[in-house]
Amino acid sequence: MKKLWILLFLAVFSFANVDSIVIKSASALDRFMALPEEEIPPKLLRKAKAIAIIPDLIRGGFIAGARFGKGVLLVRMPQGWSDPIFIKLYGASLGWQIGLESIDVVLIFTDMASVQKLLNGSLTLAADASLAVGPVGRAASVGTDFSAQILSYSRSMGAYVGVALAGAKLEVDYDTMLRAYKCDPTKIYLILQGQCRYDNQFVRILKNKINRYSAWHE
């Protein structure tokens, strides 16, 4: 198990420079919105309090596996989407797994309480906040647990997959925050209020994509 974690960390960190995380997050969102019948419903994007995107989540192992990935969290503020809060997702997983697999994950936060738990440092999915698989398609509504605080979406090799995220931990990635921002990365309120910026073309592209996809009509 220890060797597995080492391989996972090496695989993720070798591609974990700051801009590449933002670029890959934007590309992952495109893949989720590529087909109308499989997209994240725009109405959920419009109502989201925050959106987390973890591109290239690495999952692997044999019977008992592990997962690790880096991504971004954008929080809806009165002035629009915040600059990215860099996050990481990790934890053990159970099931018959052989080898490594790359998965894109999007988490839609439906209330600010769960967002605040993450911003305070860390959040365990399905323990600190209720979790449900999100609906797909513009007219999706039947069978959806809209009471869940977090709705999850996952794709692998271009197709939706049922990745069990319960028990996985989301944390603020302070190391990446320090590389991205020149202010104290522990003072996240400065970023949310726009007093400390990581504003470049890649961040603007990601925000524009979220706004454009949110504006689509069912």
| Amino acid (1-letter code) at residue 53 | I
Residue 206's SS3 state is helix
> What pLDDT is stored for residue 217 in this prediction?
67
Q: How far apart are CA 99 and CA 181, in angstroms?
A: 35
Q: How far apart are CA 183 and CA 197, in angstroms?
A: 9
Predicted TM-score (pTM) of the model is 0.85
- pLDDT surpassing 80 at residue 20: yes
Pairing status of strand 150-156 against strand 131-133: parallel
| Bigger pLDDT: 218 vs 68 | 68
Lowest-pLDDT range, 16-25, 153-162, 163-172? Answer: 153-162
> What pLDDT is stored for residue 110 in this prediction?
95
**pLDDT band, very low/low/confident/very high, at 68 (cuts 50, 70, 90):** confident
> What pLDDT is stored for residue 87 in this prediction?
96
| Bigger pLDDT: 17 vs 66 | 17
> What pLDDT is stored for residue 11 in this prediction?
46
> What pLDDT is stored for residue 36 in this prediction?
84
| Bigger pLDDT: 155 vs 111 | 111
Give me the mean pLDDT over the 53-80 stretch: 81
- Phi and psi at 123, nearest 5°, equal -150, 130
| Spatial CB neighbours of 161, under 8 Å, sequence gap ≥ 6 | 103, 154, 155
> What pLDDT is stored for residue 33 in this prediction?
93
Q: What percentage of the chain carries pLDDT values higher than 90? A: 56
Eight-state DSSP code of residue 121: T
> What pLDDT is stored for residue 102 in this prediction?
80
Lowest-pLDDT range, 39-43, 64-68, 115-119? Answer: 64-68
Contact 108, 78 (CB under 8 A): no
Give me the mean pLDDT over the 125-132 stretch: 92
**pLDDT band, very low/low/confident/very high, at 38 (cuts 50, 70, 90):** confident
- pLDDT surpassing 70 at residue 66: no
Give me the mean pLDDT over the 96-116 stretch: 82
